[in-house]
Structure 1
């Protein structure tokens, strides 16, 4: 073993000597060959490399009692995007290093990859893109950079938000843009996601059709992100088994204040979001629930004290309903209601640079109706998290 280490040391020492000789020889020559040629380097002017990062100390609480503390990288998503060939061709790639890189069975790409598409600008007003992309659900909660989110509301938190397909954009004017997407409705197979649901026949082309409108009014003070989506998953005795999802995002901005409100509603013939199925025991329901619906409200208020300090609060509520609950056993099919409260303080130490220190509290509260408590052994619960950290979309290139 010692002889091996000695030989290894001599090997690296020899490499070092040769490297020094080449380095000294290069300094005697009055020219250098750049790693990237000048004509190629100009392409980098249209390329951005961004390290979207959120990290800090998380202090967790369960039902009002302290659980644990840990430092964690809550978000790290490396992004590369840009334009090539006279701004006609564009691309975007973003990979999440805080998620397991498991290749999905439907779209054949890692679940950790959020975005991987290539696009073409047909004209100044129209474009097309193909690949894995953000599903344009609508709403300002989902439109935010994930590093600025301390906790999503339930629908976004449980959705497949990045799907593979095609997108078409049409810029009607400087204030209004329409987009249409045809996407795979999921990244996993029917059986992996829903298990063996009786009497259902899987769709040969499980697709999601998404339409989105981005609007701007009052010189940008009031903005909208509205969308409507239809998911085709299966059929039952010749009738379609679909999911319908609506998200209406509204924003008002003034010099000091930012107000954002999202309304979301999801009606699912088959429990695509999976929240109802998750708290119904397997011995009662060994597969995904049918005929469920979710209703959400999300409100964010931000006050800018000055250029460096911001105070914000987020309030959110979600209701989960199951229409198959027998009427004689329950006065309401609303099985669960969840609330969330997220007050935050943010400090930007460098003016005109998007890097912030933050302190935030994330409080979640879950309440079940009597039917869920008696039949599913569900119990009311609450969680809390105090977060102190740093976040920035670090522009590397």
Structure 2
């Protein structure tokens, strides 16, 4: 039996891993857990050139939503594998890959969508670090940077963001508690057509339809500040950036995260705002684009006949323009007893199509979640959870859209296996 487990551990070393905490950089703290290899082979690991992790989450779910009754299923939520390490005191690397995504290379960066991170970094000193490759964009906020396995349900904005891009990041730490970073990356993994489709047209009001043109330099520029105050009890993750979507069309974002970090209680509040010339997130386009398809009315004696309309041509590939999004997220973790954690979370989000009066502030979304987590083994990063998530989406009367809601109950586990 031990030989079989040891063989499995060796296979893990050959294939896999994942980091606790952050998407950005080398991730968050790894925790003081003994690896599977050390426990089975009884050999102490004396270097950090290779760390290997498997993140796996699964649950039994009961859910219902607008237009459907309660349904149950078993779901494999996450399976991410990671390798990372320090080859020297200056040179480091990180790879992260999802096994529950397609593996074929897509887009101009020649990476699969399943590959989150494939980067190398070099620390010139304790104050200057350069990283290059495919990695998470350095937006601010704490939910954005969390290990995806530990997020029960993302906000609508984060759920629609495409964050893993190829680029270069320069990190400056003038003092140990303050970090400033600059990043230049691709705006998308693929071409304009890959993301928005062929013959894409942006519409900003009922009469302004413009064919999108490829940008010569479709890049993203982000400035980031990570701060720590009062012996790390107050933390900040702020960022501002601009992304070129198409010729003359930009997306601007500001993300502000603040976190209270106490020994047995952690609470963060994130604010995110996006101002799009072209709807990058696609939420407004999904809700409203059909409303802007050209229509022709049948007339008789100067009056429409029974409001009969038809579309004489194939529907156009329309995308909304001049869209504003705002998101507020508040999340609390409280370790109220040894090996127990209570999680409470709320979100509030709005969407607005600024140049169309009837669609200004047309959408408001409220989400809530709660979970009880139990850690059965102090030597392993394993948690068993019972969670509930819900969401209500309300639309303005002027938009004439129907509201939506959803509810989900889950009983499952999250296990971060340290293989090596």
Question: Is TM > 0.5 for Structure 1 vs Structure 2?
Answer: yes
Which moves more between the two structures, 380-389 or 120-129?
120-129
1:262 equivalent to 2:270? Answer yes
Structure 1 residue 96, shift from structure 2 partner = 0.9
1:347 to 374, 378, 390: 374
- Is 1:64–1:383's contact at 8 Å kept on the other side of the alignment? no
Larger radius of gyration: 1
Unpaired segments ≥5 residues, structure 1: 1-40
Task: Within 5 Å, give how 1:6-155 maps onto structure 2.
Answer: 45-63=48-66, 66-84=69-87, 86-155=88-157
Task: Within 5 Å, give how 1:311-326 maps onto structure 2.
Answer: 311-325=342-356
CA distance in 2, matches of 1:234, 1:90: 35
CA distance in 1, matches of 2:60, 2:259: 31
What is residue 192 of structure 1 aligned with on the other side? 194
Structure 1 residue 295, shift from structure 2 partner = 0.3
Structure 1 residue 199, shift from structure 2 partner = 4.4
From the superposition, tell whether residues 191 and 167 of structure 1 become closer, same or farther in structure 2 (CA, over 3 Å): same
CA distance in 1, matches of 2:285, 2:240: 24
Q: TM-score if structure 2 supplies the norm length?
A: 0.78
- Is 2:48–2:86's contact at 8 Å kept on the other side of the alignment? no
What is residue 25 of structure 1 aligned with on the other side? none
What is residue 179 of structure 1 aligned with on the other side? 181
- Is 1:64–1:382's contact at 8 Å kept on the other side of the alignment? no
1:212 equivalent to 2:224? Answer yes
Structure 1 residue 63, shift from structure 2 partner = 3.5
What is residue 341 of structure 2 aligned with on the other side? 310
Structure 1 residue 234, shift from structure 2 partner = 2.6
CA distance in 2, matches of 1:391, 1:146: 11
CA distance in 1, matches of 2:173, 2:382: 31
Query: Which protein, 1 or 2, shows the higher relative CO under an 8 Å CA cutoff with sep ≥ 6?
Result: 2
1:243 equivalent to 2:255? Answer no
Q: Give the match's secondary structure for 1:98.
A: coil
Specify which structure has the higher proportion of helix.
1
Structure 1 residue 312, shift from structure 2 partner = 1.4
Structure 1 residue 211, shift from structure 2 partner = 1.2
Structure 1 residue 349, shift from structure 2 partner = 1.0
CA distance in 1, matches of 2:415, 2:392: 29
1:381 equivalent to 2:408? Answer no
Q: Give the match's secondary structure for 2:111.
A: coil
Equivalenced residues, count: 344
- Is 2:370–2:388's contact at 8 Å kept on the other side of the alignment? yes
Structure 1 residue 64, shift from structure 2 partner = 9.0
Q: TM-score if structure 1 supplies the norm length?
A: 0.83
CA distance in 1, matches of 2:181, 2:361: 34
- Is 1:243–1:268's contact at 8 Å kept on the other side of the alignment? yes
CA distance in 1, matches of 2:368, 2:332: 12
Structure 1 residue 124, shift from structure 2 partner = 2.1
From the superposition, tell whether residues 130 and 44 of structure 1 become closer, same or farther in structure 2 (CA, over 3 Å): same
CA distance in 1, matches of 2:339, 2:251: 43
Q: Per-residue CA shift, 1:109-149, capped at 9, x if unaligned?
A: 00010001111122222111111001111100011111110
CA distance in 2, matches of 1:102, 1:292: 33
What is residue 320 of structure 2 aligned with on the other side? 289
Q: How large is the RMSD of aligned CA atoms in angstroms?
A: 1.9
CA distance in 2, matches of 1:125, 1:255: 28
What is residue 280 of structure 1 aligned with on the other side? 288
CA distance in 1, matches of 2:124, 2:172: 10
Q: Give the match's secondary structure for 1:350.
A: coil
From the superposition, tell whether residues 45 and 303 of structure 1 become closer, same or farther in structure 2 (CA, over 3 Å): closer
Q: Per-residue CA shift, 1:343-375, capped at 9, x if unaligned?
A: 1100011225321101111101111112322xx
Structure 1 residue 43, shift from structure 2 partner = 8.8
CA distance in 2, matches of 1:365, 1:334: 16
CA distance in 1, matches of 2:360, 2:98: 37
